[in-house]
Amino acid sequence: MGRRYPMTEEVGAMRRANSMTRRLLAIGAVGAMTVGLAACSGGGGADDENTVVWSTWGTAEELTRYKEFNEDFMERHPDITVKLQPVAGYGDYHSKLLAQLTSNTAPDVFYLGDDQIGQFVDSGRLMPLTDLMESDASKTKPEDFFPGLFGAAEKDGEYYAAPNDSNPDVLWYDKQALEAAGITDDPAELAENGEWTTEAYLEMNEKLKDAGLTGSMFWNYWATHWSWLSSQGVAAPYDDSGAFVANTDPEAVAAVDELGGLFQDGTFVVADTLPDGAGADSLFVTHKAGFFVQGRYTIGTVESAGEAESYDIVRWPTPDGQEAPTGVATSYLAINGDTDATDAAFTFWTEFLSAEGQTFRLEGGGNAVPSIKGADEVVLEGGYPAHAETFLHMRDIGFEDYAAEARIPSLSTDVSELFLKLYEGKADAQGTLDAIAALVAEKSGS
C-alpha cells in the first residue's frame, strides 16, 4: 500500500480539471468511501486532551491503511483515541481546512499539499514544531528527514510541518517501445556508467518520434519545468531573496527555449492535455510512449496492465551524464496551533512520520518513498523496478518546490499555466519567463 498516488486516468482528469498537475497528490473520490473509518461528523478537533482528530484526502485503499495505523496506534496508546476525518477531494480539502482554522473547528492534525503549505505556514495557525521534534518524546528529529523535502514547511529556522513521505519524479521507460524505435541502449545502464546525457536522451526521443511513438510524457507542474532547469545545470529560478531571476539568466532562457521546442514539435507531450480514454497511462501501458515522468506510484499502473517487466526507471539526463538534483513531490503533516490535545497530537504526529510509521504505511507494494531515514527497505522490497534504488538516490539530493513559489497561494499553478502557453506554442521562452517574473513580483508585493 502507500500514499496518495493511484495515478489512473481518473487522476489525469483531476489534474486537467484543477490545473495543478501535482505529482504527489493524486485524488481519490472519498466522499462516500469512508470504509468504516471513524469520522467526526461536525468537523474540528475533539476538545479533549486525549482524543486526536486528524484529516486527509485519499483513496479507499489508503484510507484502509490509515484505519489499520489508527488501530495499531491505539493498541500501543490505550489512553489516546484517534479519529480520522476524510475529505471528499483534494480540490476541496484546503479551502475547507482554512475555513475550519478560521472558525476554530479544525482537526488537531492534518495533511497539507506542497502547493498549499506556504499559505498555512503564513497563516500563523500551525504549531511550531522544532522544539517538539528535538525533544525526548520525538521519534522524528529534524535531521532524520532529507533536508530538501521540507520546502516551504520551514520558515525562519522553524519547522511547521514535516513530509509524510515523498515521490521523486523519475523517468519511467518502456523497453518494448524503445526496441520498436530501434533503440538498443538501456537508459539505466547508461546512467550507471555516467553516460546518460541530455544528448543521448534526446536522440532516443527523436527515434521514438520517427517511429510514430510518443517520446516523453510530462505533467505540467513545478517539478517538470524546474527539474529541467536543474538537470541542465541552470541556476535556481529564484534568488535568496525570493525574487524570480530566471528571465535574466541567458542559460535559463536557452534551457526553457529548448524545453518549449520539444513540446511544440510533439517530441514531448503534456500529459494533462491528453483526451479522456487515451491518456498518458493508456499510452504507456500499450507501448506507445518511450518515457513517462512520474513517481513510484506508477508501479501500480504497469502491474495492473500485466507487463511490469517491460518497464524500468532512470534519473533525469544531464549534459555531462552525472546526476543532478530534480523535483521530489511531497505532502506534509501539521498540527493545529490551537489543539486542546498537544501531547497526544504530537505523539500521533511523530509516530505517523517516524521510520516505523512510514514503513507500516508503505510496505507491501507501497507507492511512495520514505521521507525519513531508516525506512528505505520498503522501496527495495520485491526488487521492482530493477533500478529501484534510483528512487532513493533522487530523493537524497532532490528538492521540493521553491519556498518563494510555494508560499504564495496559487502561484505554482499560475506559473504552470504560463508554461502551458509556451508548450502549446502561444508564447516564447523569454516572454514566458518575463511573464512569470512579473507575476511573482505582483503576487509577492515586491
User: CATH number for the domain including 191?
Assistant: 3.40.190.10
pLDDT in tens, 354-376: 999 999 999 886 689 999 999 99
Distance separating alpha carbons of residues 55 and 120, to the nearest angstrom:
15
Asked whether residue 93 falls in the same domain as residue 198, the answer is: no
Asked whether residue 290 falls in the same domain as residue 436, the answer is: yes
Q: Is 223 part of a structural domain of the chain?
A: yes
Distance separating alpha carbons of residues 82 and 97, to the nearest angstrom:
18
Asked whether residue 305 falls in the same domain as residue 356, the answer is: no
For range 418-430, the mean pLDDT: 98
pLDDT in tens, 44-65: 666 689 999 999 988 787 888 8
Q: Is 4 part of a structural domain of the chain?
A: no
Hey, what's the torsion of the CAs at 72, 77, 79, 85, to 10 degrees?
A: -40
Task: Write phi, then psi, for 372 (nearest 5 degrees).
Answer: -130, 150
- Domains: count for the chain: 2
- Residue 277: what pLDDT? 82
- Strands (E) across 306-399 are located at 311-314, 328-335
Asked whether residue 293 falls in the same domain as residue 197, the answer is: yes
Hey, what's the torsion of the CAs at 19, 21, 22, 23, to 10 degrees?
A: 180
C-alpha cell belonging to residue 323 = 546526476
Please name which of 200, 111, 123 lies closest in space to residue 163, comparing C-alpha atoms: 111
| 105 contacts 55 by C-beta, under 8 angstroms | no
pLDDT in tens, 196-232: 999 999 999 999 999 999 999 999 999 999 999 999 9
- Domain span at residue 103 reads 9-167+331-403
Distance separating alpha carbons of residues 32 and 166, to the nearest angstrom:
27
For range 383-393, the mean pLDDT: 97
If one compares 245 and 91, the residue with the highest pLDDT of the two is 245
| Angle, helix 429-444 to helix 411-423, in steps of 10 degrees | 170
- Residue 327: what pLDDT? 98
**Percentages of the chain per state (helix, strand, coil), in multiples of 5:** 45, 15, 40
For range 74-81, the mean pLDDT: 98
Asked whether residue 111 falls in the same domain as residue 192, the answer is: no
pTM of the model: 0.90
Please name which of 107, 84, 88, 82 lies closest in space to residue 97, comparing C-alpha atoms: 107
pLDDT in tens, 85-126: 988 788 889 999 999 999 999 999 999 999 899 999 999 999
Split at pLDDT 50, 70, 90, the class of 32 is very low
Q: Is the pLDDT of residue 33 over 80?
A: no
Asked whether residue 216 falls in the same domain as residue 303, the answer is: yes
Q: Is 3 part of a structural domain of the chain?
A: no
Q: Is 337 part of a structural domain of the chain?
A: yes
Asked whether residue 75 falls in the same domain as residue 92, the answer is: yes
| Angle, helix 60-76 to helix 342-353, in steps of 10 degrees | 120
Asked whether residue 219 falls in the same domain as residue 127, the answer is: no
pLDDT in tens, 167-199: 999 999 999 999 999 999 999 999 999 999 999
Instruction: Mean pLDDT check: name the lowest of 45-49, 244-248, 259-263, 370-374.
Output: 45-49
Distance separating alpha carbons of residues 94 and 78, to the nearest angstrom:
31
C-alpha cell belonging to residue 398 = 532532490
| 428 contacts 264 by C-beta, under 8 angstroms | no
Asked whether residue 376 falls in the same domain as residue 227, the answer is: no
| 363 contacts 378 by C-beta, under 8 angstroms | yes
Q: Is the pLDDT of residue 285 over 90?
A: yes
Asked whether residue 413 falls in the same domain as residue 388, the answer is: no
Asked whether residue 338 falls in the same domain as residue 440, the answer is: no
Split at pLDDT 50, 70, 90, the class of 409 is confident
Q: Is 151 part of a structural domain of the chain?
A: yes
Q: Is 55 part of a structural domain of the chain?
A: yes
- Residue 204: what pLDDT? 98
Q: Is 148 part of a structural domain of the chain?
A: yes
Place of cell 520525538: 138
Q: Is 335 part of a structural domain of the chain?
A: yes
Asked whether residue 116 falls in the same domain as residue 23, the answer is: yes
